[in-house]
Structure 1
Amino acid sequence: MKNKNFGRRDFIRTTGLAAAGAMLGPGTLRAGVRSQLPAVLGGTPVRTKEWPAWPIWNRETDEPLVVDDLRSGIWSRASLVTRFEKEWGDFVGTKRCLSVVNGTNALITSLLQLGIGGGDEVIVPPYTFIATVAAVLATGAMPVFVDTDPATWQIDANKIEAKITSKTRAIVPVHILGLPADMVKIMAIAKKHGLVVIEDACQAHGAEIGGRKVGSFGDAGCFSFQNSKNLAIGEGGAITSNDDAFMDKCYSYHNYGNPYGSVVGQVNAGTLIAGNKLRLTEYQAAIGIGQLKRLGAETELRNANAAYLRERIGKIPGVTPYTFSPGVTKAAFHLFPFRYDAKGFKGLPRAAFLKALNAEGIPCSEGYAPLNKMPYLQNAFQSKNYKKMYTAAELDINAFNKRNNCPLNDKLCNEEAVWFYQSMLLGTRADMDDIVDAIQKIHDNADKIK
């Protein structure tokens, strides 16, 4: 799977297919697995059954609310959306929640209503999905990349202050893969420099720092409910916050800019702010309400299996599992990551390792490419709006690349990263053993595969 042409969502869509392609019969190999010929060389795969499917749908518990809504004809935003917002806000631990059409627009709305726009600089990580930086560009602001801490896979909070200038207005930490960023340090930096913080928690449903859920630390928390996410609606997103005035503005913005709460004007003044139409539907909310009932138990299972898997694969030379940021008490594990070192596998390239692991019936991916080095940035800088808002020197892509060089992230993306998808962690302990056996089998036969 080549990351440059094979993204996270492609990996997720084909997770089941990759496992199914390895189905040669029931059961798994346990005894003598190390001596078996690797599947990539024609041997029998370690894994010979499908992984848990995603998303999960329970006809008995999930369908009545959706079907009743469809039959009612009340499909646009109404009581079910309000109910879902209340339940999601309670789950995250914030006073307010607003649903929108997707996580990308949750980020755009939050940035705009916190005053971010042309001429501003916004600190972002280079190891994230494109939506994070696309949202910054949509406001006209300039992204500033801070290198990744390879141990935690998160933005390196120790390197943020060096990137702050007089133009810096916001930090967008991303709890990427469902592993929380170092929010305690990031919030302290933001307070010191008078910056706003928008948490991109689109992959981090239920993750916690000190028992407090992500999405409740910053000025805003942004979530996605796209079909691959740990709470899947198909499409959808949400903004969480404790700031009533901010949330009133977000509500107004998502409904064309019409009056709402503290966003008021003269009687019959009409639309008050430049807005958009980002309303969630009732049947989407009905799906989300059903999914939310299982999220807590699913998160606990993912954490238990991840801890077991981490402990076992960490003993294999050449495999370095994730480390939590300070204070993390629970992760979401939208993806389970580890770093691969070819030297521990007798020089076997990562691409060959991934191919061999997939052949053993263990779907895996190399993950993201460096987000700070893609053509979309130059395309944005060449736009009419950016040319009006910034100097030629600021838009020089070569100078930009030098300022935003992230060498540790480059190594993580190009040489080290390996992912497993979250639904694999909803399996049994024996399923986790399959993963361990497959990695160990490849390790012990690396010279043959190479």
Structure 2
Amino acid sequence: MSSAFNRRKFISNVAIVGTGLAIGAPHIVSAGTSNTKPAILGGPRAHNGSFPSWPVQDAIEEKGLTEVLRSKKWGRLDGSQMAKFETEYSKLFGVKHSLGVSSGTSALTTILGALDIGPGDEVVIPVYTFVATYNVVVLNYALPILVDTDIESFQMDPVKAKAALTAQTRVIMPVHIGGSPVDIDAFVAMGKQHNIPVIEDACQAHLAEWKGVKVGNHGLAGAFSFQSSKNLNCAEGGAVITNNDDFITNCYTFHNQGQGGRSTSFSTGVGTRGTNLRLTEFQGSLLLAQMTRVAEQSNRRWENAQYLSRLLKEIPGITPAKLYPGTTRSAYHLYMFRYDKNHFAGLSREKFLQALSAEGVPNSAGYGQMNKSSYVTALATNKHYLKIYGEKTMQQWLERNQCPQNDLLTSQQSAWLFQNMLLGTKSDMEQIAEAMRKIQKYAAEIAKK
């Protein structure tokens, strides 16, 4: 996927780090006009300090890892940490069942495997997402149907998703991009009307809520990631959550080589296919330790993001991503906003972001145009896909994947800040806004640089 931001390079993108976590006084600084030159023009940086580092860890993690090491029970099949984690994770999300797996990608793979998705099936996904959402569909030789973006929210447009459904649609898989809920009611209603399961890709959305209920609870199942950049992390890992008793059994069986019990055997198992996507006891221990802080961190991000949004809405040309009315909590794995160069003397987004970096504010332009990347378009000439679907269908697939709103968003407007920045102080949020005001005042001069 062509993208200005690689999630695997998250840590390097937030190299300006520190440890301050206190939230300052709840006053709101007026968005007045800055008289200080931007740093890119030789002035002082708006943000002179450092944002909190990620991940956060202390003696709790060290103690837990040491205990697992000394137990000599390092895998879930003979240890106890993963079972304990799954119990606590279920409580955290208010869900009946959780299953730890080896990555967020593995969570989606497990779900699609349990649904027996394969050749001839279509899976509806957003075009604005990390490539893993696409990869899990293609690995099953199903057809990923890329749906255009609601430009105001950065989320998959439910109206266009509904129009993309066909008789071959087996799964609707919206993604809670940036940790903010999609219009869940629209997708759930769509799934019920057409008798198609809704799977929530919530890999970025730990503790996000829709009408007071955690995301991942609304469809058949939800998938989460614990990759190192995530709001809850153990370097690599993931989870499936569901309220369906039979479905979690199928998921466990699929991720455990077709073995339905809580161990392996010398038999071939049940079902017709499976794989090994188990998570280790070490990662279970890390997650249990990380969960001691996750609620407080979530609250901090939410409060700081709301404050930052109030500040940025006072700056013409800066528009925070819309939250749908049913949203009672965004996880803010990403703070997404749109940039309009017409309010910045025609300054390109790339130069705006460069100037913002110079102010000490890490950022990214975000995801690109996945539907137009060679990685995706080459699927139309893949020998296996041509054998399954034929040349005509694959050419029609390319035509179905036109996403003009996403093209506009990704080519000119989209911008991100990162979750660790929202663990800072209200002063940090004020300095982010001040940086943008400085850039706006001197935009014409920056454009000539």
State the TM-score bracket (shorter-chain normalisation).
Answer: over 0.9
Q: Deviations for 1:226-255, whole angstroms, at most 9, x for unmatched residues?
A: 000000100000001111111111111111
Report the Cα offset of residue 33 of structure 1: 7.8
Residue in structure 2 matched with residue 41 of structure 1 by the alignment: 41
Cα distance change, pair 307–333 in 1 and its aligned pair in 2 (3 A): same
User: Which secondary structure state, in structure 2, belongs to the residue aligned with residue 199 of structure 1?
Assistant: strand
Whole-Å separation in 2 of the counterparts to 1:32 and 1:131:
42
Which TM-score applies when normalising by structure 2?
A: 0.92
User: Which secondary structure state, in structure 2, belongs to the residue aligned with residue 35 of structure 1?
Assistant: coil
Q: How many residues align?
A: 432
Q: Deviations for 1:396-437, whole angstroms, at most 9, x for unmatched residues?
A: 2xx433211111111111100110000100001101111011
Q: Which runs of 5+ in 1 are unaligned?
A: 21-29
Whole-Å separation in 2 of the counterparts to 1:121 and 1:255:
26
Report the Cα offset of residue 308 of structure 1: 0.4
Residue in structure 2 matched with residue 196 of structure 1 by the alignment: 197
Q: Which amino acid aligns with 1:424?
A: M
Q: Which amino acid aligns with 1:421?
A: F
Residue in structure 2 matched with residue 407 of structure 1 by the alignment: 404
Whole-Å separation in 1 of the counterparts to 2:358 and 2:201:
34
Whole-Å separation in 2 of the counterparts to 1:179 and 1:373:
25
Residue in structure 2 matched with residue 372 of structure 1 by the alignment: 371
User: Which secondary structure state, in structure 2, belongs to the residue aligned with residue 139 of structure 1?
Assistant: coil
Whole-Å separation in 1 of the counterparts to 2:426 and 2:252:
44
Whole-Å separation in 2 of the counterparts to 1:105 and 1:440:
43
User: Which secondary structure state, in structure 1, belongs to the residue aligned with residue 174 of structure 2?
Assistant: coil
Matches within 5 A, 1:127-142: 127-142=128-143
Q: Deviations for 1:74-116, whole angstroms, at most 9, x for unmatched residues?
A: 1111210011111112212211111110000110110121132
Residue in structure 2 matched with residue 55 of structure 1 by the alignment: 55
User: Which secondary structure state, in structure 2, belongs to the residue aligned with residue 16 of structure 1?
Assistant: coil
Q: Are the equivalent residues in 2 in contact too, given 1:11–1:365 (CA < 8 A)?
A: no
Residue in structure 1 matched with residue 317 of structure 2 by the alignment: 318
Q: Which amino acid aligns with 1:400?
A: W
Matches within 5 A, 1:21-36: 34-36=34-36
Which TM-score applies when normalising by structure 1?
A: 0.92
Q: Which amino acid aligns with 2:298?
A: T
Q: Deviations for 1:127-165, whole angstroms, at most 9, x for unmatched residues?
A: 100000101111111111221111111111122221111
1:448 and 2:445 are equivalent in the alignment:
yes
Report the Cα offset of residue 5 of structure 1: 5.4
Q: Deviations for 1:51-72, whole angstroms, at most 9, x for unmatched residues?
A: 100010022x332121111122
Residue in structure 1 matched with residue 388 of structure 2 by the alignment: 389
Q: Are the equivalent residues in 2 in contact too, given 1:16–1:50 (CA < 8 A)?
A: no
Whole-Å separation in 2 of the counterparts to 1:155 and 1:184:
13
Residue in structure 2 matched with residue 426 of structure 1 by the alignment: 423
Whole-Å separation in 2 of the counterparts to 1:378 and 1:344:
35
User: Which secondary structure state, in structure 1, belongs to the residue aligned with residue 390 of structure 2?
Assistant: coil
Residue in structure 1 matched with residue 82 of structure 2 by the alignment: 81
Matches within 5 A, 1:301-316: 301-316=300-315
Q: Are the equivalent residues in 1 in contact too, given 2:202–2:216 (CA < 8 A)?
A: yes
Matches within 5 A, 1:92-107: 92-107=93-108
Whole-Å separation in 1 of the counterparts to 2:337 and 2:361:
14
Residue in structure 1 matched with residue 277 of structure 2 by the alignment: 278
Residue in structure 1 matched with residue 339 of structure 2 by the alignment: 340
Residue in structure 2 matched with residue 297 of structure 1 by the alignment: 296
Q: Which runs of 5+ in 2 are unaligned?
A: 19-29
Q: Share of identical aligned residues, percent? A: 43
Report the Cα offset of residue 10 of structure 1: 2.4
Residue in structure 1 matched with residue 175 of structure 2 by the alignment: 174
Q: Which amino acid aligns with 1:169?
A: R
Which deviates the most, 6-15 or 300-309?
Answer: 6-15
Q: Deviations for 1:23-49, whole angstroms, at most 9, x for unmatched residues?
A: xxxxxxx99982222111222111111
User: Which secondary structure state, in structure 1, belongs to the residue aligned with residue 185 of structure 2?
Assistant: helix
Which deviates the most, 118-127 or 382-391?
Answer: 382-391
Residue in structure 2 matched with residue 246 of structure 1 by the alignment: 247
Q: Are the equivalent residues in 2 in contact too, given 1:373–1:401 (CA < 8 A)?
A: no
Whole-Å separation in 2 of the counterparts to 1:69 and 1:403:
50
Cα distance change, pair 109–446 in 1 and its aligned pair in 2 (3 A): same
Q: Are the equivalent residues in 2 in contact too, given 1:170–1:197 (CA < 8 A)?
A: yes
Q: Are the equivalent residues in 1 in contact too, given 2:155–2:175 (CA < 8 A)?
A: yes
Whole-Å separation in 2 of the counterparts to 1:255 and 1:136:
20
User: Which secondary structure state, in structure 1, belongs to the residue aligned with residue 248 of structure 2?
Assistant: helix
Q: Are the equivalent residues in 2 in contact too, given 1:204–1:214 (CA < 8 A)?
A: yes
Q: Are the equivalent residues in 1 in contact too, given 2:113–2:274 (CA < 8 A)?
A: no
Whole-Å separation in 2 of the counterparts to 1:42 and 1:382:
51
1:353 and 2:352 are equivalent in the alignment:
yes
Q: Are the equivalent residues in 1 in contact too, given 2:371–2:377 (CA < 8 A)?
A: no
Q: Are the equivalent residues in 1 in contact too, given 2:3–2:369 (CA < 8 A)?
A: no
Whole-Å separation in 1 of the counterparts to 2:11 and 2:363:
9
Residue in structure 2 matched with residue 108 of structure 1 by the alignment: 109
Q: Are the equivalent residues in 2 in contact too, given 1:231–1:288 (CA < 8 A)?
A: yes
Q: Are the equivalent residues in 2 in contact too, given 1:114–1:196 (CA < 8 A)?
A: no
Q: Are the equivalent residues in 2 in contact too, given 1:8–1:367 (CA < 8 A)?
A: no
Q: Are the equivalent residues in 2 in contact too, given 1:249–1:260 (CA < 8 A)?
A: no
Residue in structure 2 matched with residue 417 of structure 1 by the alignment: 414
Which deviates the most, 412-421 or 66-75?
Answer: 66-75
